[in-house]
């Protein structure tokens, strides 16, 4: 009887020990070889999201710049800046100049048909990183006349950059260049009724004349090519 009891106890102990053993299944190493290419590291996910956000920001910025460019074009038209139609009509001598500008002697010129005072015309040129045109020889003056005639065949009176508003009879160019050349009409400048700004295409010979700066005229802008 004692022998049977001992065997029964031994059997129970053997069963308990077997229950405590946890079998760990063997892992097929080929799993990693097959699945490794499909694994996505969490850091990679973060980088992908960041890249997508950056692309979205860039797209938003491009869209904003496009809107600002359209807004600038519309505002420019109101200020007298050249429209797309005007630019396409004066592309023949653009060279390295912006579209709509004519190149001569390493400078770019454009005719602005909108009528403004001399000061507003000068400010309008400034919006295009330019100034009212200065003139330095006969060839350059002839070129500016061609620029005007391309848009206005009647060659109207037009503002250019000369002024003696700072001191009477001391004429200066608005771009700061030396005032060595002139093409005044006979008897001009005469400072009649405080005329301190320069208009071109005066009289039959298309010479220069001083005029009150508040007169409304078209203008010619110039800047370095």
Place of tokens 């460019």: 69
* 41-91 pLDDT tens trace: 434 434 344 444 444 444 444 344 333 333 433 444 444 444 443 443 444
- What residues make up the domain containing 203? 84-224
Whether residue 217 contacts residue 201, with contact meaning beta carbons closer than 8 Å, is answered with no
Residue 39 in any domain: the answer is no
Residue 219 in any domain: the answer is yes
Nearest to 116 by CA among 132, 93, 139, 130: 132
For residues 24-63, b (16+ Cβ closer than 10 Å) or e, as one string? Answer: eeeeeeeeeeeeeeeeeeeeeeeeeeeeeeeeeeeeeeee
Place of tokens 């004519």: 102
Indicate which CATH number applies to the domain containing 95: 3.10.100.10
Residue 19 in any domain: the answer is no
Residue 26 in any domain: the answer is no
Whether residue 127 contacts residue 76, with contact meaning beta carbons closer than 8 Å, is answered with yes
* 190-220 pLDDT tens trace: 988 899 999 999 999 999 999 999 999 999 9
Read off the pTM: 0.60
Residue 1 in any domain: the answer is no
Q: What is the pLDDT of residue 191?
A: 85
The 3-class secondary structure across 110-151, one letter per residue, is EEEEEEECHHHHHHHHHHCCCEECCCCCHHHHHHHHHHHHHH
Whether residue 163 contacts residue 118, with contact meaning beta carbons closer than 8 Å, is answered with yes
Query: No. of H helices and E strands in the chain?
Result: 6, 8
- Specify the number of domains making up the chain: 1
Residue 92 in any domain: the answer is yes
Residue 2 in any domain: the answer is no
Q: What is the pLDDT of residue 96?
A: 87
What is the average pLDDT value for the chain, to the nearest integer?
Answer: 74
Residue 108 in any domain: the answer is yes
d(CA 195, CA 211): 4
Whether residue 100 contacts residue 82, with contact meaning beta carbons closer than 8 Å, is answered with yes
């Amino acid at each position: 009887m004692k022998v049977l009891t001992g065997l029964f106890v031994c059997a129970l102990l053997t069963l308990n020990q077997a229950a405590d053993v946890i079998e760990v299944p063997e892992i097929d190493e080929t799993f990693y070889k097959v699945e490794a290419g499909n694994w996505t590291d969490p850091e990679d996910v973060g980088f992908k999201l960041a890249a997508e956000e950056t692309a979205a920001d860039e797209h938003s910025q491009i869209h904003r710049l496009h809107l600002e460019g359209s807004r600038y074009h519309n505002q420019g038209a109101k200020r007298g800046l050249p429209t797309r139609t005007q630019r396409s009509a004066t592309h023949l001598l653009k060279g390295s100049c912006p579209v709509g500008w004519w190149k001569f002697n390493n400078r770019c010129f454009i005719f602005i048909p909108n009528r403004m005072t001399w000061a507003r015309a000068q400010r309008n040129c400034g919006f295009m990183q330019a100034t009212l045109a200065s003139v330095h020889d006969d060839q350059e003056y002839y070129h500016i006349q061609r620029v005007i005639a391309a848009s206005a065949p009647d060659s109207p009176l037009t503002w250019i950059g000369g002024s003696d508003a700072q001191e009477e009879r001391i004429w200066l160019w608005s771009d700061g260049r030396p005032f060595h050349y002139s093409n005044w009409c006979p008897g001009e400048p005469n400072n009649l009724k405080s005329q301190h700004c320069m208009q071109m295409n005066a009289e039959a010979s298309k010479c220069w004349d001083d005029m009150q700066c508040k007169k409304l005229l078209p203008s010619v802008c110039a800047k370095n090519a």
